[in-house]
Amino acid sequence: MKSQGLLLFLLFLYSVCDSTPFITKEFLQDLKKNVSWEVTEYEENGFRGFSMDDAKMLLLKNDEAPYELQSESTSTIVSDKKVDPQFDARDTWPQCVHRVRNQGRCGSSWAMAPAGAISDRFCIKGKDHMLSPQDLVSCDDDNDDCDGGYLDRAMLHMRYVGAVEEQCFPYVSGNIGEVPKCPNNVCPNPGNLWRRYQCGFTRTVKDMNQAKIEISSFGPIVTRFDVYKDFYAYKGGVYYYKSGGHIGGLAVKVLGWGVENDIAYWLCQNSWGPSWGVGGFFKIKEGDCRINEFFLSCDALIV
């Protein structure tokens, strides 16, 4: 009887903990008093009904040390190029920074960021291919679909396998809660060619100036950074970590940099939909949350 009572007590504790709100009014009110960046109102926060497990579900599989890609080429990097104090790829290539995606309740940022950045780079080279993150989620066997993935493996998948265009395999996993099977070589839309578009040479960039040269010369790159609870409360300004526990890692597209209120920042595109942050974009303080540790790039392969 004692063991049965203990089991019931543990189940009760689990149910209480599992239903504990991830975001509360009190947390947001305290945060507003201690940060210079803009915090969402409780009623506007899209995560107010989330549990901790729900919040973690959006993040990467791997939260360990920085990834390494063997740099296959450094010849295209102009090491002595002047770095401007501010850059936004949306100003330089307004037609080529593709729309903000919403990964939904699926841990697919590992697929969203590479598909987005490489799509932008194809467009910058004159070939507007919007690549399908669903193709990576369903077909990259080295990652774990909606259960999270590894950014370096996703970049290598784009290097050696590639992804079809969005029209051939639209993203659905965030809505239906399932991962469709990797399809055969048939595009369901008549007139669309089934073809996987790859990127060419890969690079790991650890120097901030080199990362900025990469972006301003060839287009957006990708990275991962540490996510803390207060990031889910971001609405605008330059984010920096202040409060709440470490939740995991997130992959994002990096498309610029600048200085705001004397804080140097990276400009990034998230995959939490356009209602989050500033239309789906955010600024994060340089060096905060390990975002400076490495960046990954891969050139669009035009054949």
For each of the chain's 303 residues, which pLDDT tens digit applies? 444 443 333 333 444 445 688 999 999 999 999 999 999 999 999 999 999 999 999 998 655 544 555 545 544 455 677 899 999 999 999 999 999 999 999 999 999 999 999 999 999 999 999 999 999 999 999 888 999 899 999 999 999 999 999 999 999 998 877 899 998 777 877 777 789 999 998 899 989 999 999 999 999 999 999 999 999 999 999 999 999 999 999 999 999 999 999 999 999 999 999 999 999 999 999 999 999 998 999 999 987
Q: Which of 130, 115, 123 is nearest to 168 (CA)?
A: 130
- Three-state DSSP state, 292: coil
Distance CA 140, CA 110 (A): 11
Taking residue 93's Cβ as centre, other Cβ atoms within 10 Å add up to: 16
Q: Taking the chain, what is the end-to-end CA distance rounded to the nearest angstrom?
A: 71
CATH value at residue 172: 3.90.70.10
Residue 5 belongs to a domain: no
Residue 214 belongs to a domain: yes
Residue 265 belongs to a domain: yes
Residue 118 belongs to a domain: yes
Residue 268 belongs to a domain: yes
pLDDT at 5: 44
Residue 39 belongs to a domain: no
Q: What percent helix, strand, coil does the chain show, rounded to 5? A: 30, 20, 45
Q: Which of 223, 275, 280, 282 is nearest to 38 (CA)?
A: 282
Residue 174 belongs to a domain: yes
Residue 48 belongs to a domain: no
Q: What is the CA radius of gyration of the chain?
A: 20
Residues paired with residue 106 on neighbouring β-strands, in sequence order: none
Domain boundaries, position 85:
54-300
Residues paired with residue 284 on neighbouring β-strands, in sequence order: 239, 266
**Count of domains for the chain:** 1
